[in-house]
Amino acid sequence: MKKVLFASSECVPFVKTGGLADVVGALPKEFDKNEWDIRVVLPDYTCIPPQYRDNFEYVCHFQMNMGPYIGDKYVGVMKYEYNGITFYFIDNLEYFECFYPYSDARYDIEKFIYFDKAVLSMLPLIDFQPDIIHCHDWQTGLIPVYLKTEFASNLFFTSMKSVITIHNLKFQGVWDIKTIQGISGLPMDVFAHGKLEFKKSANMLKGGIVYADYIATVSETYANEIQSAYYGEGLDGLLYARRLDMKGIINGIDYDAYNPMTDKALFKNYGPDDFRTNKKINKTKLQEMLGLTVDKKKYMIGLISRLTDQKGLDLINYCIERLVDDNTQLVVIGTGESKYENMFRHYAWKYPDKISANICYSEDLARKLYAAADAFLMPSQFEPCGLTQLISFRYGTVPIVRETGGLKDTVIPFNEYEHTGDGFSFANYNGDELLNAVNYSKFVYFEKKTDWNKMIDRGMAKDYSWKNSRAYYEGLYSYLIG
């Protein structure tokens, strides 16, 4: 039996702020339980819904020595079975009593350093000796560092390997060396230039990249992009040096959870055979619900996103009044930076029959929009993987994307001469190129309806379920276990 422990700061259904939680929640259950024992460890946040948290089982507790700044700390270990997977929760109210899993940077850094050391410290006590610890993002970046330093002399840990997945390189866990050394108790030599040191500070994600046995990221193109200065966030040299130990594996989506034939949120269910009639029903019902002009012939563009610079919203701002002509509607769902929230609110106030700004996150409304929209817009500046375009394919909605990261890997641009492709794309980060791509999509939608419907057929036939990604992870784990 091959054993793997996933370590993460979030995981569906317990706690979610972004796509990381979907990955950690969906991937473990895909493995064959006769061959693989995959378990997950998370912080025991008090904001985990009570229907789960009230049923956690106590496993053990102990005192753990940290660095000189914080000394000994209590560690409790709780356990819960869900979907056939064992989840462990590191319990400490001082760190994990919260309404939201992240707070200010200095405090987050301390609590995740504590979490990283606790994950390794609990293993001998819970009698689980994984072959591999699969770490996710900067919050777990010190696990590979501890494994190769403080824990290396303990026989229990000597054959353990670590993998770190970079979900978004922009977030790295950077603070001054003195503080991180004082919290972690790691020896000073790990804060040298080729190790954790980063622009005279210490960088937790860099530690993970330097010390992990293997690095994964969430698309092949993103793995290549982050080796360049434009996308590399200061770590491009290191990532280029480790490129032979790095692989991009595209994320999947849960095909049972996202299924237009069974999704209870939809006004009318549909599949590949009847989307031509039933998507329109979803469109008119959503138009009615949101107070837009009710007309099944309108071209509806959806946007579900965190409202941040990364998502290319400044490009939309540049051309939004030209995007929404008399035949086009734009429906936005998301929260984020106030400048973008206010931008969409302003245009929705100015064009109430064409633009709907829903400054919230509602899973129910999001699903209704996936089903109702004709196209989905993702003009990201960078996009490690992106899940929105994968869900769009599933719901027969055509993605319009910028060619970056996972968007480039998953969306094949439409070619009207060869009758190929399943979406529209543009290459340069430029508002006019975005507008041209949208205008071309409108032309195909209104003038070449057969081509448009065939694009939907091709998109709905794609398989981005987790079973495809799982095969790559199985290969990676087996290679490391040897």
pLDDT tens-digit map of 348-369: 999 999 999 999 989 999 999 9
Distance CA 342, CA 205 (A): 33
130: pLDDT strictly greater than 90: yes
Read off the tokens for 360.
């919230």
Q: What is the DSSP string of 170-195?
A: T---EEEHHHHHHHH---GGGGSTTT
What's the average model confidence in pLDDT over 340-347?
A: 98
Q: Please, which residues have CB within 8 angstroms of residue 337's CB and are 6 or more apart in sequence?
A: 307, 308, 309
pLDDT tens-digit map of 189-221: 999 999 999 999 999 999 999 999 999 999 999
Alpha helix (H) ranges present in 55-149?
93-96, 105-126, 142-148
Q: Using a pLDDT cut of 70, give the percent of the chain over it.
A: 100
Contact 201, 150 (CB under 8 A): no
How many CB atoms within 10 Å of residue 204?
28
18: pLDDT strictly greater than 90: no
Distance CA 295, CA 233 (A): 45
Distance of CA 228 to the CA centre of its chain: 21
Contact 5, 39 (CB under 8 A): yes
How confident is the model at residue 78, as a pLDDT? 98
Distance CA 255, CA 297 (A): 29
CATH says 2-252+466-481 is which class? alpha beta
Contact 218, 407 (CB under 8 A): no
Sheet arrangement for strand 214-217: 57-65, 72-82, 85-91, 36-43, 2-7, 132-136, 161-166, 214-217, 246-248
CATH 3.40.50.2000 fits 275-461, yes or no: yes
What's the average model confidence in pLDDT over 285-304?
A: 98
310: pLDDT strictly greater than 90: yes
Name the residue type at position 284. T
How many CB atoms within 10 Å of residue 263?
17
What's the average model confidence in pLDDT over 63-79?
A: 97
How confident is the model at residue 19, as a pLDDT? 84
Domain boundaries, the chain: 2-252+466-481, 275-461
Contact 172, 221 (CB under 8 A): no
Residue 454's φ and ψ, nearest 5 degrees, are: -70, -35
Distance CA 287, CA 39 (A): 44
pLDDT tens-digit map of 134-147: 999 999 999 999 99
How confident is the model at residue 17, as a pLDDT? 86
Q: Would you say the C-alpha torsion 27, 33, 34, 38 has a positive or negative sign?
A: positive
Distance CA 204, CA 103 (A): 17
Q: What is the DSSP string of 249-282?
A: ----B-TTTS-TTT-TTSSS---TTTHHHHHHHH
Instruction: Provide the whole-model pTM.
Output: 0.93
Q: Which 3 state secondary structure label does DSSP give 415?
A: strand
Q: Tell how strand 197-198 and strand 201-203 pair up.
A: antiparallel
Read off the tokens for 65.
């020595």
Contact 46, 21 (CB under 8 A): no
What's the average model confidence in pLDDT over 416-437?
A: 97
Adjacent-strand bridge partners of 62 = 75
In sequence order, what E strands does 351-441 have? 355-358, 375-378, 398-402, 424-426
- DSSP element (H, E) containing 288: helix 275-290
Distance CA 65, CA 417 (A): 66
Distance CA 351, CA 348 (A): 5
SS3 content of the chain, % helix, strand, coil (to 5): 40, 20, 35
The CA-based diameter of the chain, rounded to the nearest angstrom, is: 70
Contact 18, 306 (CB under 8 A): yes
What's the average model confidence in pLDDT over 24-31?
A: 95
Give the confidence band of 427 by pLDDT, cuts at 50, 70, 90.
Answer: very high
Distance CA 223, CA 232 (A): 10
How confident is the model at residue 90, as a pLDDT? 98
Read off the tokens for 73.
């700390």
